A and B are shown apart, each in its own frame.
Chain A
Amino acid sequence: MTTGHLHLAVALDGAGWHPAAWREAGAHARELFTARYWAKLAGEAERGLLDFVTIEDAFRLQSTLPDDVDDRTDQVRGRLDAVLLAASLAPRTRHIGLVPTATTTHTEPFHVAMGIATLDHVSRGRAGWRVQVSPRASEAAHFGRRAIPRLDPEFRDRALLAELFEEAADAVEVARRLWDSWEDDAEIRDVATGRFIDRDKLHYIDFSGRWFSVKGPAITPRPPQGRPIVAVLDHGGTAVPYELPARAADIVFVTPQDREDAARIVERVRAVPRDGEPLKIFADLLVFVGPDAAERKARLDELDGAELVSDAAIVAGTADELADLLLDWREAGIEGFRLRPGAVPADLKGIARGLTAALRRRGAFRHAYESATLRGLLGLPRPASRYATAPGRLP
């Protein structure tokens, strides 16, 4: 019997995950590229006592085609950089975790690591990083440095995906070494000797890999959380399913279609060898919440001209129905859920108000935030720097 409260996160993307969501009354889609719009969403999620929000991002324009842009004008197009958006939410929130998406495929690991470390500083310990890879030729063409074959939905290029995931694991390793490269007590402000830092507590990371080498140390002091949370969405499509999250992440988002599927996925995730804290398994669900949920979804499908499809299971129902389903999947080993609101703000409110109340009635959700940091909310300890040596012990 699983006890304790569920972890809940919400995945923010534009006006919601339904392509016609921006057309709903109350959507305020013209404000999509303003800070005010996103601050309202984060505020709603925080009032609901959710663990964290993730923010979607990609190096390509949204499209209904696998690799090319389409010419549709009736769906949301355009996004802000997720890390910077998360940073602008930090002073406007106090407790909720902020987990932006940042790609590893075309970026500098050093810049990404320092960006996430800075997000942790400006949020005083609430940062995470949703690691994403970029398997599309169109995204590679935006950088012009690397050739990646055009994405073919009929042919899954497992070798390419494995390579991109391996590079992502290297980028995460670099980030963690950089975050650790300042020991917690590196800043000493010793007036007598004139030293601002104890240089022996700043460390070169000397990472040397297939795609990049990074010397270090970080330019940003150690983040408040020690190591910000790393999360990965994984559909189990590589030769060794879930290897990247098992090796590199603190949280994996998985996409089971039903309870039996959830149990199978949990079993496969747990089968991958891993050092350290057990990987936290969250299930992604695309949800429409409320007494009118099914009707709203049907209306949006009609506006878009197609039934909604998603890699995540789609659930439309009342808050109580959804709460019962989450608790049922918890029995299969799912520890938390990342909910994708079908339409914003209706389904975000449905999650943050209706669902949390329903879960509290079942004794399965918090009444108040119990920690100031995201690691604390997730029950993860703050790790010591790997470079710190115990007092009296030689390095």
Chain B
Amino acid sequence: MGTRGELRVVGAVAAGGALGATARYGAALLWPTPVHAFPWTTLTVNAAGCAALGVLMVLLTETRIRVAPHPLLRPFLGTGFCGGFTTFSTYALDTRRLLEAGDPARGLLYLGATLLTALAAVWAGGAVTRAVVPVRVTPT
């Protein structure tokens, strides 16, 4: 890929990331988390972004699509949008906040529940997509 192509990919990642982060910010405004509450919104955002990435990656890499996907689709939607929508830093900071708030059980619950939900979501997103979209077959 030339410099020009590389710049287009970086631009697609930046645009997708800006949209994803805006969506996450919007979710936080719609469903704000009180200071000492369990961060349901961030957990849900992270799980939803993982499910979306699971669907997208199977669609782009495993399924038979008549038209080849646009080369900027993966950087825009996957690396950009899903990456910008989900967050690891807020997860880490919120876990620390819960652990410090004198209730370590909730902190550990949040730590583990996010991890399990996210892994299950990315797996389920891919599995459901494989089940409903025709899987790529080797050309005869």
A and B bound? Answer: no
